[in-house]
Structure 1
C-alpha cells in the first residue's frame, strides 16, 4: 500500500447535493472530485455502496457484491438518450418514480439496439455471473413477494429447490433482466467516477462490512457459508459487547459465518467478495476487523448484546488466503472497540493500517492510544467516523473534564466551540499518521444536526446531505492552508 502522507474526506455519495431525493453518482460527484483536487485532498472515502433495506443502512445490505441502484445517476441516463428528462423531474417529488425511470431507461437502452452497449452488457453478465445470477433472481423474488425477507417465502423457493427456481427465473425474466441492467449501469457509472478521480489524483477509499444481512442474496443463495438453517433460523447472531457507544452493546442481528465450511473450500466466498470490492475501490476499510480474530456471538432470542461471548475465528488463515490472491492487500483495519493483543498481532502480521479517532482520545488518560503522541506512521487518523457525532457537535456536547483535558493537552485556551473544532482538525492533520480522514461535516463546521448515524438506534440515520452553499470560501481556503502547512 502506498503510504505517502496525505489527507482525505469521508462522504457517502448519498450525502452529495443534487435535485434528486438522495445524492447519487452524477454531476455533483464529479464536482466533488474537482473540489477535492482543488483543496489538495487525495482520498475520497465512502461507506459501503451496496443496495440497502428501507432503513438505508449500508451496513445491512441486500448483497455483498451488488451496487445500490439508488446511487445511479438519472441524468447520465438522460444524456445517453435512454430516459426522458420530464420523467426525471417527476422523480424529484415521487420516490416510486425513480424505479419507473430505471425501467424506462432499460426500455430505451434496448430500443436503441446499440451493438457496442449490448456487447458491454453481455460481457458484464458473463464476468459477474457468479454473484449476479443469484442476486438478480433474489431481487425478482423480492418484488414478487412484496419485498418480504427470503425466510418468509414459500418453502420450495426458500429452500432453493432447483425446479422451482427454474420456473421462477422463467416467470420473472423481465425483473431479472431489469436488475442486471441496473447493476451494469451502476458499475459503468462508478468506473467512470473512479477514472475521473484518478485523473485528479484522488483515490477512492471504500468500506466493507465484515458481516452481511440475514435477508440478503448471499445468505439465501450461499447458505453453506453461514450458521443459518433452511428456514432462516439462527441460534446466535452477530454484534459487539458493551462499549463507549452503548452500555448494552449492539445486537446487529447478522448471521455468523460457518468458518469451518469457508476454510474447507479455501475461503472462496471471501476471495470473490474482495475481487468485487477491488473493482470499486483503491483502498478498503474492513469494518469490525476485530471479528477476524473472534466474533461476539449473541443468543438470537436476547434483546441486547450483554449475554454474548467471543468465538474464535481463523483470521490468519483467511488473510493469508487473500494475500496469496492479492499480494498488495490494500486493506485498512477498523480496530476500534474491545481490542486484544491477538487482534493487534493479526493486523501487524499483514502490515495493515489501523485507525485512531480523536474524539475517543481525551478521557484524561495520557496513555490513551488515540492521543496524537501515541499515533504511528502506519495509522489512519480521523477526527470522527460516520458513527460519531460531528466534531463541532462533540465539542458542544462534551463533558467539562474532557474539554479541560483537551485544553491542557493542546496548550490552547479555547475561546469558542468553532475554535476547538478547528484545533481538532489541526491535530488530525498534524498527526504522524500517513493518512488523515476528515468527515465532510467537520470541514464545513456543522453541528450535531448533520450527524450521519447514531449506533444502536433505528430510524433517522443515513439521511444527511450537504449543499454547495455550505462550502464557504473561507472554509475552503482554511482547508487548503492546513493541507499545505501539515504537508498533506
Structure 2
C-alpha cells in the first residue's frame, strides 16, 4: 500500500438518488464523482456490488463474482439505444428510501428487454466486446447464468431444494437446460456485460479525476449462492450438500450467545492443495472491479469460529486455524503488491496483527469506538500509526451526529469534550471528528457521506442486529451543496490529503500566497 496521504468518502451505490428507486450507475453517480473531485477526495468506498438475496444486504450475495442488476442505469441503457425512452417512464423517482422490491419487479423486466435487444441488434464491434467479456469471465459467468435461470424456474427457493438432478448439477440435466433455455441464459450473460460496461465507464470517470475506487470483499459466501452450488467440493457440506459446519463469532460483551452467521465454511486444506484457485479467481475478478479492496472480517483469515450446523447459537463453536499466510503469499505471487485494507475491528489477537503486518495491510480505526474507557483508546488518533485507515464511522455505525445524540452516555460525552475540546453545541461534533481523522498520521481517512452532510440517525445505513429497514438510505437529490465540497477541500489542503505535490527546490511555486492564507484561516475554523 502506498504512503500517500489520502481521503475518501464511503457511499454505497444504492444510496445515490438515481431514477428508478435504487441508486445506480446513472447520472447521479457521475454527479457524486464530480462532488468528490471538488472536495479533493481521492477515494470512493463502496460496499459489495454483488447481486443480493434475502434482505437486500450487499453482504448476503447470490454470487461473489457477478454484479447486481439493480445497479444498471436504465437511463444509460436508453441513451445507448438498448431500450426506448418511453419504456422506462413511470418508475419510482430520485428521492426517498431505496425500494429494492420495486426495482426487482419493475426494473428487471426492462433490463431483460434491453439485453434481448442487444442480442437481436448489436453491431459487430459490440458483439466482439461481449464475446471477449464472456471469455474473460468464463470461470463463473455460465454457471451464474444457469443458477439465475434455475432460481426463476423453481420459484426462487434455495438451490438445495431444487430437483436433485439440478441441485447436484447432473450433466444431462444441465445439458437440457442449455438446450431448452438458451435465450434466457444468453440474456443473463448480457445483463452481466451491461453491468460491467456501465461500471467500467463510471470507474474510468473516477480515474480521470484522480479518484480510486475502494471495494469490499466479504470473507464468506452465502449457502444459497451460485458459488456453493457450483463448487460444493470446496465447502464443508455433507453427502446431500448441506452444511456440516457454519460461520459466526463467539459470545462477547455484546452478545451472550455470540453470532451464528450460517455461511458454510471452506475446506481450507483442499483449497491449499489446489493453490487456492477459487480465491485467486475471486481476487482477480475483484481487482477488475476495484482499485483497492477492503477485506471484511479479516481475522477469519488467521482463525475462524466454527459452529456445528445443528447448533442454534454460536456458543459451542471453536476456533480453527486458517492458512491466511499461505493464501496471501499465493495472492502476492500472482498479483504482486496487494492493495488490501484489513477490517480488523473487534477482539483481535497478536497473531491477526502479525498476519496483517507481514503483508503490510493497513488496519481500520473507528473514532466513535475510542471514547468509552482506556481500553478503547487504540481507536483515537494519538495511538494511530501511518499504515492505518481512520474512519469517523462505517456503514454499520450510527452517523456521527446520531451517535452523539442517541448513543453516547455522559462518560462518553465528557471524554469527547476532553479530547476534542471544540464541542460547544451538537453542531460542532461532526466536523470536530472529521478534523481529528484528517489531522491524524493515518495515511488514509474516510468519512461516510452522512457525516459530510451532517445527518442524524435517520440516515443510518445498517443496524447489524436489526432484521428490517437496513440498506435503504439514499441522500436527497439536492443534498450535495457546493459549500460542503469547499469546506472539505479546505480541510484536505490543510492536512496534506489533497494530492498536492511538493515543487522542486528553488521553485517559487511553494511560497505561500494570499489565497493560501485565506484557505488556512478557513481550515482552522471549520
> Smaller-chain TM-score range?
over 0.9
Report matched runs for 1:82-97 at 5 Å: 82-92=82-92, 94-95=102-103, 96-97=105-106
Work out the CA distance in 1 between the residues paired with 2:6 and 2:146: 43
Q: Secondary structure at the match of 2:455?
A: coil
The answer to whether the 8 Å contact 1:246/1:456 transfers is no
Partner of 2:382: 373
Partner of 1:405: 415
Partner of 2:123: 114
In the TM superposition, what whole-angstrom CA distance separates every residue of 1:125-173 from its partner, at most 9, and x where no partner exists?
1111111111111111011101111011111111111111111222222
The answer to whether the 8 Å contact 2:17/2:476 transfers is yes
* Matching of residue 249 in structure 1 with residue 238 in structure 2: no
The answer to whether the 8 Å contact 1:377/1:434 transfers is yes
Deviation at 1:92, TM superposition (A): 2.9
Give the CA RMSD over aligned residues: 1.5
Work out the CA distance in 2 between the residues paired with 1:209 and 1:277: 11
Deviation at 1:246, TM superposition (A): 4.1
Moved more, 300-309 or 380-389: 300-309
Work out the CA distance in 2 between the residues paired with 1:73 and 1:19: 8
Report matched runs for 1:59-458 at 5 Å: 59-92=59-92, 94-95=102-103, 96-243=105-252, 246-365=255-374, 368-397=377-406, 398-412=408-422, 414-458=423-467
Work out the CA distance in 2 between the residues paired with 1:188 and 1:230: 40
Residues 478 and 244 of structure 1, relative CA distance in 2, 3 Å threshold: farther
Partner of 2:21: 21
The answer to whether the 8 Å contact 2:36/2:485 transfers is no
Deviation at 1:112, TM superposition (A): 2.4
Work out the CA distance in 2 between the residues paired with 1:288 and 1:113: 42
Work out the CA distance in 2 between the residues paired with 1:400 and 1:305: 33
Deviation at 1:462, TM superposition (A): 0.7
Work out the CA distance in 2 between the residues paired with 1:276 and 1:294: 25
Deviation at 1:90, TM superposition (A): 3.5
In the TM superposition, what whole-angstrom CA distance separates every residue of 1:366-385 from its partner, at most 9, and x where no partner exists?
76211111101000000111
The answer to whether the 8 Å contact 2:244/2:309 transfers is yes
Q: Secondary structure at the match of 1:468?
A: coil
Work out the CA distance in 2 between the residues paired with 1:403 and 1:338: 24
Deviation at 1:302, TM superposition (A): 3.0
In the TM superposition, what whole-angstrom CA distance separates every residue of 1:235-264 from its partner, at most 9, and x where no partner exists?
221112234654433221111000011001
Q: Secondary structure at the match of 2:377?
A: coil
Work out the CA distance in 2 between the residues paired with 1:63 and 1:486: 40
Partner of 2:524: none
Taking structure 1 as the reference length, what is the TM-score of the superposition? 0.97
The answer to whether the 8 Å contact 2:223/2:263 transfers is yes
Work out the CA distance in 2 between the residues paired with 1:402 and 1:77: 50
Work out the CA distance in 2 between the residues paired with 1:283 and 1:245: 31
Deviation at 1:476, TM superposition (A): 2.9
Work out the CA distance in 2 between the residues paired with 1:185 and 1:282: 20
Gapped regions of structure 1 (runs ≥ 5): none
Work out the CA distance in 1 between the residues paired with 2:336 and 2:326: 15
Taking structure 2 as the reference length, what is the TM-score of the superposition? 0.90
In the TM superposition, what whole-angstrom CA distance separates every residue of 1:417-442 from its partner, at most 9, and x where no partner exists?
22122211111111110000100001
Gapped regions of structure 2 (runs ≥ 5): 94-101, 498-526
Work out the CA distance in 2 between the residues paired with 1:411 and 1:447: 21
Partner of 2:55: 55
Deviation at 1:113, TM superposition (A): 3.6
In the TM superposition, what whole-angstrom CA distance separates every residue of 1:282-307 from its partner, at most 9, and x where no partner exists?
10000000000011112323333233
Moved more, 421-430 or 236-245: 236-245
The answer to whether the 8 Å contact 1:12/1:45 transfers is yes
